[in-house]
Amino acid sequence: PVTAGSIVVPFGHVIGNEKWRGSEIAQKLQGKVRLVFEDGLGLVDFHLSNRTCILYISEADLVAGDEFKRRLVRFRNASSLGGIVIVERTQISDQYFLAVQKLVVLELGMVLLPVANQGEASQLITQLVSFYVREQSKEQSSNPFLRKQRSQLAEPAVFRTVQQIPGVGKTKALLLLQQFGSIHRICNASVKELEPVVGQAVAQQIHSF
């Protein structure tokens, strides 16, 4: 049966599929993360957190044919977990890489990360896990690529926007904003209302912009 459901992963741990016991990847992970093996993980090779798991595609899988594709699609249909696909990109498997990337990233919307061998995979997994640990601890904002909520005063931007109206420089922009208060009200001012502030010619220009 397809097992791709969620699983509780303790902090800083990796839960590995029993079939990886004794592998190079497992040996290199040990000591860096706490690796626990479990039976019955089904399609998943490693669970990194409650929400994220890894599906590993070896050079041999790629060469053998399309079985790995069926596995990925089955995982995607059966699980709501975030799946990271690690693929062995070697001289032999390189010819398949583009097609795999297209399937995993563009069709299935999963993450794909190439490695040259199991050693590189263990380094990558270690980095991913250390990220979860850092995120859970106090360094919430330690990821420099995350969206930052910045609240900035709008005044400088509004001042610049009004200066983009033809005929309006710094002085007139300020006068307009002091008189009308917002871009919306400047846009809705009649020529009659604009004239005393910026003169006849510019009032026309603003009105027809």
Partner 1 sequence: KPCAPAPLCVLVDSREICSGAEVISSLKAVHGVKVQVCSLSSDYIVSSRLAVERRFLSEFLSPASRNKLAQRIQRLWSMFERICVIVEKDKAKPGETSRFLQRTHNYDATLAALVRAGVRILFSSGQGETAALLKDLALVELRKNAAIRGPTEVEEHKRDLLGFYLSIPNLSHLAALNMCRAFGSIREMANSSPQDLAAGAQLSQHAAAEIHRYLHYGFEAQLLPESPRVPGGS
Q: Which is nearer to partner 1, 37 or 123 (CB)?
A: 123
Among 6, 80, 182, 200, binds partner 1 (CB under 8 A): 182
Sheet containing strand 111-115, strands side by side? 34-38, 13-17, 46-47, 52-57, 82-88, 111-115
User: Which residue in 145, 80, 84, 81 sits closest to 114, CA to CA?
Assistant: 84
**CA 20 to CA 17: how far, in whole Å?**
6
Please give the backbone phi and psi of residue 177, each rounded to the nearest 5 degrees, phi first: -70, -35
Least distance from partner 1 to the Cβ atom of residue 110, Å: 10
Rounded to the nearest whole angstrom, what is the least distance from the CB of residue 96 to partner 1 in the complex?
13
Lookup result for tokens 């599906």? 55
- Contact flag: residue 146 with partner 1 (CB under 8 A): yes
Q: Is residue 7 at the binding interface for partner 1, with CB under 8 A as the rule?
A: no
Name which of residues 96 to 125 contact partner 1 (CB under 8 A). Answer: 97-98, 101-102, 105-106, 111-114, 116, 120, 123-124
Task: Select from 78, 135, 197, 204 the one that contacts partner 1 (CB under 8 A).
Answer: 135
27's tokens? 């040996």
Closest CA to 158 of 189, 181, 134: 181
Least distance in angstroms from the C-beta of 187 to partner 1: 4
Decide whether 16 or 114 has the Cβ nearer to partner 1.
Answer: 114
Q: Hey, what are 46's tokens?
A: 């490693």
Residue 197 binds to partner 1 (criterion: CB under 8 A): no
Q: Which residue has the tokens 């592998």?
A: 23
The smaller minimum CB distance to partner 1, of residues 37 and 133, is found at: 133
Residue whose tokens read 């992970």? 29
Q: Specify whether the CB–CB gap between 55 and 100 falls below 8 A.
A: no
Residues that bind partner 1 (CB under 8 A): 84, 97-98, 101-102, 105-106, 111-114, 116, 120, 123-124, 126-128, 130-131, 135, 143-148, 150, 153-161, 163-166, 170-171, 174-175, 177-178, 181-184, 187-188, 208-209
